[in-house]
Each structure stands twice: as C-alpha cells, then as structure tokens.
Structure 1
C-alpha cells in the first residue's frame, strides 16, 4: 500500500512525526508521498522525505495559497522540482468553494504550474473543488504535454469522475468514502473507476474514516489507517483488498516513477 497524500508538514504532526511514519510502515504501508501546499511547505516536505526511507514529496502551490504566486515562484518551483525527492508538481488546481485566493489568482498559479510540469516532464498532483468545468478547461491544453496527472481526494459526481477518466487522469480516493453522511455518492461510483486509474490516500491529518471500529481516540487521521480505506474500497468494488493494494502500488510506479 502506498499513501499518495500525506500532509506530514502539518502542525498536528509536530510532536510525533517519527512515530507517525513508524506506525504507518508497521501497519503495512510501503511508501508515502508528502504533499507540498506552498513553496515553503514544499521545501519542508522535501526535507522530511529525505529524512525518512520510502518517502517522496510533491512541490507546488495549493489554490488556497495562489495569491502568493509571483514571477519568482516559477524559478523556486523549478529548483525544488529538480531535487531527487520530488516526484510531482502540486498540490495545484482550483478551489472555488472557499476562494481564499481569488479565482483569477488561482487560475494564474494553476496554469503556471502546469507549464512547469510540462517543461520538466513531471506528473501533476491536483486539487479541484466546486470548479470542475473551469478546472478541465485550464487543464485540457496541457494534457498531451504531461506524463500523467492525478486528481487527489476526489469527491465529485459520477459525471465528473467520467470526465476525468476520459482524459486519462488518475483519481485519488480517501476516507471520505467511509463517511455515511457525505460519501455515499462516491462509494456508489467506485466500480466505475478502472483499477489501473485508482490511487489511495489518507490526506492525513484530515478525513479520518468515520467507520473505523474501535474509533481512534484522536480525530486526527494518520497513514497507518490506509489499510482500512483499502479494505473498504475493495469491499465496495467487490475486489480482493490484497489485489487492489498491489494494483494501486503498480499505478504509483507508473504515474510517479517510484520503485517501492
């Protein structure tokens, strides 16, 4: 099992990062991709990836932080992307739900990061919330220039999933699917995702699976719980969880060029 989305730079992990990573590997996780959400956090994620075995990182600017994007940001991102730990550009994309940065700022930063990824021949690790049509409109011109792309933490509709899959995107599935209040639509569309386009992630410390028994004492999610997500996804897809874990590992190798 490989967790493609772990926010290890989060302050929620400040006191016990070593234990978090150790518990993940003890629970059967084989690799971790640490998410970079702005240029500073991307450097911190890279440093953490270099500190732990079987860890890699992304480098990019999240739509929430897009207001920070400047002409110099591309140069900083180029430098980060050339480091051996960094295997994807992102987390980048659009989030029109909260608009912590304006839509215009988000679109400018997203397009600029797609250009960096295309020039460097790197996959992109993307975010989209309440912006599906505009997200695809900006992404489409770059798809034939990118080696691959994943829409992480996918929570959209069946049609949105099909739109992404038709474009060859991978979809990252989190513990959102374990939420009986808001994850039922995602649960129902799981069988529509081809096995060779599916990736799994915790997005820890966020999105603790609600159906874990016994419930963890803390509401903080962690990568050690990835196995629970894999088991539930396999159950709803009517697949063997060991087979699905192996398939998603192969998808990680294909998309990110990582040897686990």
Structure 2
C-alpha cells in the first residue's frame, strides 16, 4: 500500500532523541511502509522551530507551527509574534497544534482561549489551515463548544480536528463547518470510536499517527512512529468494508485539499 498521508506526528519529540533515531530514519521507515507524506507538528516555539528544520531536511515532510493549549499560560505576546515569523517559512502548511484542552482543569482557561484566538487570527491572515487539539473531561463537551464558538466568531473553518475520540454528534458539528476528523491508533482498540467512524462520510476523514503517542495494535507497547499508520488505514477499511488502498487514497486526497490547496504550496 502506498500513498498514505500522516496528517499529524511529532518527529520533533524528545523521545526520538533519547532513542537515537533521526527524523531521516523515521521518514525512510515510513516510506517503506507506504507513508509518503508527513505533517510534523509543533506544540511550542522550540518544537515548531525543530519541526520546520526537520521539514526542510526531508523532502516530503511539512511543518505545522503552533502553541499547544496546555502550554498557553507560558507564552507572552512576543512568542506569538515569533510564531508568525516562523509560519512564513516555505514548508509551513498549517498553524497548530492549537485549540482548547479542559481535560486537566480550567485554571488557565482564559489563557488558552486568548492563545487560541491569536492562532486562529494568524491562520486566517496567512490562509493556512488549523490543526485543532480539543479535549475535555468525560461527559463534558464544553471545550468543543467553545472551540466552535471561537471559529464561528472568527468565521474561519479551515482545519483538522486531530486525534478525534468523541461522539458522532460532536464530529458532525465540526464536519458541518468543513473541518475534517482525524483518526489515529485509538481506532484499532476503541469500540466507541469505531462506531463513530462507521457513520462518518469518508470525505470527512483523514489519518494520523500522532507519533510518538497512541501506537496502534498490536504494537501499542512500543513507541509510536509514522511507519505504523497503515494499521490505522486497515482498521478504517475493516470498519467501512472498503479496500484499504481506497481508504489510503481518499484520506490522502482529503488531506491534500486542506494542506495544499494554496497556490504557493508546491509538492515538487
């Protein structure tokens, strides 16, 4: 199987340095398994810089730059100015990961919202899609509702809701606004997520490794890597009763529409 697009991973994570594996090695391994385009996602200023450098060193790796909601309280206005400078680089194809995360509490809710709004405005200004990280405590969808409220206020709906693991109702609210739903290794083991994905249209789905997190079965005791992403594709194919090559092609095309619909971006 060839042509899988990994819409969200962290080649820039420190665990890969500890394991002494380079981004070049991971990209080569991914290509052998059929993953030939990778979005390398930043979560603060330092990791965004690293994501960009790694993208510049690897032909089919692209960078997204942003400040993660759980880091929002640590960054000043100057950091967001720096983020805009980084975002102007040629191999940057999106802003994120950004969003709202209430799963660890709401002590810094105001800072999260302020940081998210800044990044939505930046994405809108640069005509780049958003990589949305949204999480909440079990039984609550406040973070999702607040995210949608901000996007509606800013009138900007280009993006991907990453590592989705919520209800069909929540997914549909984002899909109605044109935002894609991204699926990672959780699909190989989460029965509720399988039910949700079964009912979603294929033109609303993309896939991600989210490496080094959420390794798919049967490798879930190992550190995740993009090379395992075809297992996610196979799981979706099983759920949808489709050919896995078709799932790979459709999810790739969906991702290409979002991340390479801008004229100045060129895969060549």
TM-score, length-scaled by structure 1: 0.92
2:175 to 157, 165, 180: 165
Residues 114-134 of structure 1, C-alpha deviation per residue, up to 9 Å, x if partnerless?
A: 011111111111100011222
Counterparts of 2:168 and 2:5 in 1: how far apart (Å)? 25
Q: State whether structure 2 residue 89 is matched by structure 1 residue 83.
A: yes
Determine the structure 2 residue equivalent to 1:65.
71
Aligned residues of 1:65 and 1:100 also touching (Cα < 8 A): no
Q: State whether structure 2 residue 12 is matched by structure 1 residue 5.
A: no
Determine the structure 2 residue equivalent to 1:134.
146
Aligned residues of 1:230 and 1:241 also touching (Cα < 8 A): yes
Map 1:13-162 to 2 at 5 A: 13-14=16-17, 15-17=20-22, 18-99=24-105, 102-130=108-136, 131-143=143-155, 145-146=156-157, 148-162=158-172
Aligned residues of 1:59 and 1:91 also touching (Cα < 8 A): yes
Residues 84-124 of structure 1, C-alpha deviation per residue, up to 9 Å, x if partnerless?
A: 11100110000100148711110010011001111111111
Superposition RMSD in Å: 1.6
TM-score, length-scaled by structure 2: 0.89
Counterparts of 1:116 and 1:99 in 2: how far apart (Å)? 26
Counterparts of 2:204 and 2:52 in 1: how far apart (Å)? 26
Q: State whether structure 2 residue 254 is matched by structure 1 residue 251.
A: yes
Determine the structure 2 residue equivalent to 1:192.
199
Determine the structure 1 residue equivalent to 2:212.
205
User: How many residues in Structure 1 have an aligned counterpart in Structure 2?
Assistant: 251
Aligned residues of 1:152 and 1:172 also touching (Cα < 8 A): yes
Gaps of at least 5 residues in structure 1 are none
Residues 15-38 of structure 1, C-alpha deviation per residue, up to 9 Å, x if partnerless?
A: 112322211011111111001001
Task: Indicate how the Cα distance of structure 1 residues 11 and 2 shifts in structure 2: closer, same or farther if over 3 A, else same.
Answer: same
- Displacement after TM superposition at 1:187 (Å): 0.4
Counterparts of 1:100 and 1:6 in 2: how far apart (Å)? 26
Gaps of at least 5 residues in structure 2 are 137-142
Aligned residues of 1:93 and 1:126 also touching (Cα < 8 A): yes
- Displacement after TM superposition at 1:198 (Å): 0.8
Task: Indicate how the Cα distance of structure 1 residues 259 and 175 shifts in structure 2: closer, same or farther if over 3 A, else same.
Answer: farther
- Displacement after TM superposition at 1:58 (Å): 0.3
